[in-house]
A and B are shown apart, each in its own frame.
Chain A
């Protein structure tokens, strides 16, 4: 039951945290949200250690690799995109 409570409250926070975002930031923001669900890496790490069969190890390995790709790639590509906005900040508005 606690899990459901946390889930619903998490949904409400997520609903509130995004306000009127300029179209310029839609792609970076999507990429940032994409990186955050890379947290599944923590879950994958916690389950792989409970594996005790070959199938379990294979499933665990694939899960870890996919999650690591999600989290590393997600943040790296977000930072790359946002780095381009930094240069623009120097331009007169």
Chain B
């Protein structure tokens, strides 16, 4: 029976590898996810069968198992099915927090049961599991909170916050080491877990919202590593393989994401620590902006020959992907050349905006990535910015402010710019956007959904 279980685990591990590999390309991505899910189902089912046949599980044990699976499974299913497409990044971060917490608790449970008698090898893996798992648990919760707006998305830094960070990390590592020597008992375990939880919070708090995608991906990779450590503690190979797989592939993915944003991983994590120590360099805060009406904007759009639409988070938040497509269809029917400029992190996570626009059936070939579309702005009559802010802020080209170095769409190179935005409120990075006060920019203050509908109506009236 044990051999069968091991073979099923091996099969599951193979499914995970193949599944991840197939997810490298859009045409095979769905199949990859299905194969991976099948492997997961097989591994879980085989485990349950073995537990049933072993006959050693108590009634209470089964009750706890059933209750846990139904509570967690229902919560996960409900959240995954009902969450708006715009809030998916937060959901992924929450699921990641759950995985990290579970991995940490597996080691906590084993360390509590076996206590100081545990051999050094598993104890070291256990201590690492508790530290990494607790950091990803609290860190992912904060990251999700920042994306949801429950936690301030600005870098939150106070004097000495770096010291607190270092201190918490040192305590977590120190208490973990005591735990490994087998002399600390429950006290060392509790201190390790609490310090690691604290470090997770203090690590993510100073990182600005714009860098959150990379942080979530990094925490995801860390959870994988924690799961692998949990596997070493309880001597379970499928946990080790799957955990290591996610740890490494998640790490690579994190690097790819950071590259897509032209950020080094180091500057995201370490640089984030520094942003608040010096006040952000003054960004020209000229309040004189030119507000335009729907009719003005409609005239500009209807008589343009090239329009580049720049969708941002505001479009995602207002669920206005269908309205933008209707406006684009209308303009195209007049012979206007329309395309969409997709910033790698438009909508908060790489690829998020593509998913949203795909939902609204925007033709794939009209979606252009940043490097492809940037040279075209100079030839565009109108750049229509919908609820985007930081990703088009020309201040990013200058050093010394929170968005410095972030790759941006060269919207300011277009002949004229129309920005649909609810207010002059700040974007994720919490700084002013000098594009808004540029003389060639017209600000159309409206909610993205209503604004686009009114624009489309105005264009219709105009062209009769």
Q: Cα distance A2–B395 when bound, in Å?
A: 53
Which residues 198-227 in B have Cβ within 8 Å of A in the complex? 213, 216-217, 220-221, 223-224, 227
Measured CB to CB, the closest approach of chain A to B155, in angstroms, equals: 22
Q: Which residues of B contact A43 (CB under 8 A)?
A: 102-103, 106, 227, 230-231, 234, 236, 239
Q: Which residues of B contact A52 (CB under 8 A)?
A: 58
Measured CB to CB, the closest approach of chain A to B409, in angstroms, equals: 14
Of A17, A23, A93, which is in contact with the most chain B CB atoms at under 10 Å from its CB? A23
Binds A, one of B163-171, B251-259, B282-290: B251-259
Q: Does B269 contact A (CB under 8 A)?
A: no
Partner of A23, one of B94, B228, B369: B369
Mask of B26-40 contacts with A, CB within 8 angstroms, 1/0: 110110111011001
Q: Does B113 contact A (CB under 8 A)?
A: yes
Q: Which residues of B contact A77 (CB under 8 A)?
A: 79-80, 83, 88, 91-92, 95
B67 nearest in chain A by CB position: A61
Inter-chain contact A14/B351, CB cutoff 8 Å:
no
Q: Which residues of B contact A81 (CB under 8 A)?
A: 85, 88, 355
Inter-chain contact A25/B29, CB cutoff 8 Å:
yes
Q: Cα distance A59–B77 when bound, in Å?
A: 22
Known: A12-B248, A42-B238. A86 touches B30 (CB 8 A): yes
Q: Cα distance A46–B319 when bound, in Å?
A: 43
What are 28 A-to-B residue pairs whose CB atoms are below 8 Å? A7-B243, A10-B247, A10-B248, A13-B17, A13-B244, A17-B249, A20-B256, A25-B23, A28-B33, A38-B40, A40-B103, A40-B239, A42-B239, A44-B102, A45-B48, A45-B51, A50-B109, A57-B60, A67-B102, A70-B76, A70-B96, A70-B99, A71-B40, A72-B80, A75-B33, A77-B80, A82-B30, A89-B27
Binds A, one of B296-304, B360-368, B424-432, B443-451: B360-368
Could you tell me the dominant secondary structure of chain A's interface residues?
Answer: helix
B77 nearest in chain A by CB position: A72
Of A64, A85, A89, which is in contact with the most chain B CB atoms at under 10 Å from its CB? A64
Partner of A6, one of B36, B81, B240: B240
Q: Cα distance A41–B43 when bound, in Å?
A: 10
Q: Which residues of A contact B221 (CB under 8 A)?
A: 33
Q: Does B89 contact A (CB under 8 A)?
A: yes
Q: Does B3 contact A (CB under 8 A)?
A: no
Q: B-contacting residues of A (Cβ < 8 Å)?
A: 3-4, 6-15, 17-52, 55-57, 59-89, 91-93
Q: Cα distance A64–B68 when bound, in Å?
A: 5
Of A11, A52, A89, which is in contact with the most chain B CB atoms at under 10 Å from its CB? A11
Q: Does B391 contact A (CB under 8 A)?
A: no
Q: Which residues of A contact B231 (CB under 8 A)?
A: 3, 43
Q: Does B16 contact A (CB under 8 A)?
A: yes
Of B236, B243, B249, which is in contact with the most chain A CB atoms at under 10 Å from its CB? B249
Measured CB to CB, the closest approach of chain A to B89, in angstroms, equals: 7
Of B48, B216, B220, which is in contact with the most chain A CB atoms at under 10 Å from its CB? B220
Partner of A37, one of B25, B26, B243, B257: B243
Which residues 90-121 in B have Cβ within 8 Å of A in the complex? 91-92, 94-96, 98-99, 101-103, 105-106, 108-110, 112-113, 121
Inter-chain contact A18/B98, CB cutoff 8 Å:
no
Q: Cα distance A29–B246 when bound, in Å?
A: 11
Inter-chain contact B351/A24, CB cutoff 8 Å:
yes
Of B94, B109, B224, B354, which is in contact with the most chain A CB atoms at under 10 Å from its CB? B109
Q: Does B344 contact A (CB under 8 A)?
A: yes
Q: Cα distance A92–B366 when bound, in Å?
A: 11
Q: Cα distance A76–B213 when bound, in Å?
A: 20
Inter-chain contact A29/B253, CB cutoff 8 Å:
yes
Q: Does B271 contact A (CB under 8 A)?
A: no
Q: Which residues of B contact A23 (CB under 8 A)?
A: 260, 344, 350-351, 354, 369
Inter-chain contact A24/B76, CB cutoff 8 Å:
no
Partner of B102, one of A6, A15, A26, A40: A40
Inter-chain contact B67/A40, CB cutoff 8 Å:
no
Measured CB to CB, the closest approach of chain B to A44, in angstroms, equals: 6
Known: A32-B32, A56-B109. A71 touches B76 (CB 8 A): yes
Q: Which residues of A contact B352 (CB under 8 A)?
A: 27
Known: A14-B246, A37-B227, A43-B236. A66 touches B61 (CB 8 A): no
